Amino acid sequence: MWDVQAVYGAALSAVLAAVLIAATRAAAPVVATGALAAALRPVAWNAIL
């Protein structure tokens, strides 16, 4: 079962990545892809553990 902290951490990573990528004035698809990648990495890591 997914832990609340794991989901919160993944969401926080996605938001932070989106903000940092958007600060470079990247196009919206680039921001979305970066945010998605930042959210999937912690989820994948928790699935492995």
| Residue 14: CB atoms within 10 Å | 21
Of the two residues 49 and 2, the one the predictor is more confident about is 49
Q: How far apart are CA 24 and CA 40, in angstroms?
A: 22
Is pTM beyond 0.85? Reply is no
Q: Domain total for the chain?
A: 1
Residue-wise pLDDT for 28-46, tens only, equals 999 999 999 999 988 888 8
Single-letter code of the amino acid located at 2:
W
Per the structure, the complete domain to which residue 20 belongs is given by 4-48
The answer to whether residues 18 and 5 touch, using CB atoms and an 8 Å cutoff, is no
